[in-house]
Every structure is written in structure tokens, then in C-alpha cells.
Amino acid sequence: MKTIFDILKETGALITDNHFVYTSGKHGSVYINKDAIYPHTGKASEVGKLLAQEVKDINIDVVVGPMIGGIILSQWTAYHLSKSRGKEVLGVYTEKDSESSQVFGRRGYDKLVVGKNILIVEDMTTTGASVRKVVDTVKAAGGNVVTVGVMIDRSDQGMTQDIIGAPFFTLGRLTTEVFEAQDCPLCKKGVPINTKIGHGKKFLEEQKHGL
């Protein structure tokens, strides 16, 4: 049976032996370019199917994902759950507000989760802070968060229910060595920073201006 890592490799989303700057500002040699999956609708569907299979024995009414990648995952996961169960499972999403909280906005999706069993899906976790905001938002709206499903967990120690605020599962776990910029051995060796993927371009601009 195909795994999430098979899909990552097939779409070129798993990149190794390079020099990246991550969202956290730390450096490392491995990057998951999750956006490389989404243009391939068949592959995105396969990811949704893998997530749906993990909760095949759980009653789910609505799948919620955070904008942007989580929207695609929520749609495909809800599609496969609907198909396998012969009932409609809804797929909705949250979005960031001006304070970087996750909200349902003005679309009325908050009304669709009230009293419903909710599966929250996310493409990647590093600290768990982002998906925790979605969990809190769904709970505040009156939804019952049954579990959280993540495509790839990149956290250092492994994500836990205490961090997420709900039961949690992942399709795959990838732990790689990361370094603070000042301690990065790749920088010390003069390995060029990737400026096309990740936050390398921003990092170099800040270095140039002494920020």
C-alpha cells in the first residue's frame, strides 16, 4: 500500500541534501515542499484517502482544515469519507485573522460544526501551535473535535494530545537535524542557501541589511 512518503517522492515534494531556511528561522538540509503536491489532484486525492482511512471506524460529520493547504486536504478527505460511507461529510476551512488567530470568518461555516463530530486536518506540524488554534476555534463554535490528522509531523519530540488539544495521528513523521542560524554547519561550509524554496531569500535580505 502506498505511503505518504511515496507520494512526497512522486511529486518531488521531499527535497534533501540542500540548504534551507525554515519558517522558524532555523536552518537544515531537508525540506518538504508540500505545495508541490497540490497541483497534482490525483496525488492530493490520495493523501485525502490516506487520512480518511485512518478514521474509517470513527463517525465524522465535518472535516475542517486551515487555509491554505488545509482547504485542499479537508475537501479530499471529506470526499473520500463521503464516498466510503454513503453519506455526505462536509469539508470546510478556517482562515487567519489580523491577529493570526484561526477563525471561520463570515462564511457561516461555524454554524456547520455546531454539535457535529469534527476531524481537523493539517498538512504539517512543527510546533503544533497553528493547528491548536483551529482546535480551539472549532471547540468554541460548539464542535466536537474527535481527532486531528496531520500529513507530516516534523516536531522535534513528536506531537502529543496535550500540545494539540485533541487526539492526534499523523501519516508520517520526519525528524531532521535543524540549527540556529549562528550555529549552522552548512553556513560555515559555505553551502549556498536555497532562495527559491523556504525562507532563504528573506533571510539573506535581512542579513544584507543587518536585521
Q: What is the pLDDT of residues 100-129, one digit of tens each?
A: 889 998 899 999 999 999 999 999 988 888
Residue 122, beta-bridge partner list = 150
Eight-class DSSP state of 122: E
Instruction: Measure CA 184 to chain center.
Output: 26
DSSP SS3 for 70: helix
Determine the pLDDT at residue 163: 93
Tell me the backbone φ, ψ of residue 77, rounded to 5 degrees: -65, -45
CATH topology of domain 4-208: Rossmann fold (3.40.50)
Which cell goes with 198? 523556504
Determine the pLDDT at residue 1: 78
Alpha-carbon distances, residue 150 vs 60, 115, 131, 199 (angstroms): 16, 23, 9, 22
Query: Model pTM?
Result: 0.89
Residue 29, beta-bridge partner list = none
Determine the pLDDT at residue 14: 94
Q: What is the rounded CA–CA span in Å between residue 81 and residue 48?
A: 9
DSSP SS3 for 103: strand
Determine the pLDDT at residue 211: 66
Cell 505511503, residue located: 3
Residues in the chain predicted with pLDDT less than 70, given as ranges, are 211
